[in-house]
Structure 1
Amino acid sequence: MINEITVNVDEKLAVDKFNVDEANPHIVLKADPDASEFDKLILCCPAGLYKRDADGQTSFDYAGCLECGTCRILCGDTIIEKWEYPQAGMGVSYRYG
């Protein structure tokens, strides 16, 4: 018998606290990001911040960022205009849950 372990990522992320710096986004994308580069981030961002709707329109919201740097590593030279850690007291606060 194999024990199946399932994790609901949305539940785990909901436990974390986010202090969003509305005046100074720590991630800024270039004006017209390349579609294939954006698709990398749709697949790889652990917080699911990069999205494409049924009409093909892309969206991104830095507010739920986990500050892991995945987007910076994958696309820092292509579609990311700015990536830096949030200012002190801002960003994600991890909590056990």
Structure 2
Amino acid sequence: MPVTHNRYRPATTPHIIPAEELDAGQKAQLVNGCPAGLFRYTADGGLTVDFHGCLECGTCRLLCDPDTLARWQYPASGFGIVYRFG
């Protein structure tokens, strides 16, 4: 049976940054839509993202309009997740 050899090397700089001003609907989409559960509400009702566990699937980009994320890009070369099979 084939074995997976996925590798993950966390980047030191964030590749996902939510916009400064988000309404409740935009926050809810990010919190509920991320398959890795990286977006979370803060105690004061804000939003935080733990980019270290990102699967780089792009779900957050697809769920939201262009103004929801101030920045989204793939991590720098050699960082993030590398899926390997076999």
TM-score, with normalisation over the residues of structure 1?
A: 0.68
Question: For residues 16 and 57 of structure 1, what CA distance do their matches in structure 2 show?
Answer: 33
Q: How does 1:1-97 map to 2 (within 5 A)?
A: 17-22=7-12, 24-52=13-41, 56-94=45-83
State the Cα RMSD in Å.
Answer: 2.4
**Amino acid aligned to 2:11:** D
3-state DSSP class of the match of 1:43? Answer: helix
Structure 1 residues 54 and 44, CA gap change in structure 2 (3 angstroms): same
TM-score, with normalisation over the residues of structure 2?
A: 0.75
Instruction: Please report how far the alpha carbon of residue 16 of structure 1 lies from its aligned counterpart in structure 2 after TM superposition.
Output: 5.5
| Higher RCO structure (Cα 8 Å, ≥6 apart) | 2
Q: Which runs of 5+ in 2 are unaligned?
A: none
Instruction: Please report how far the alpha carbon of residue 52 of structure 1 lies from its aligned counterpart in structure 2 after TM superposition.
Output: 1.9
Larger helix share, 1 or 2 = 1
Is residue 16–residue 69 contact of structure 2 (8 Å, CA) maintained in 1? yes
4+ long deviations beyond 4 Å? none
Whose radius of gyration is greater, 1 or 2? 1
**Amino acid aligned to 1:77:** P
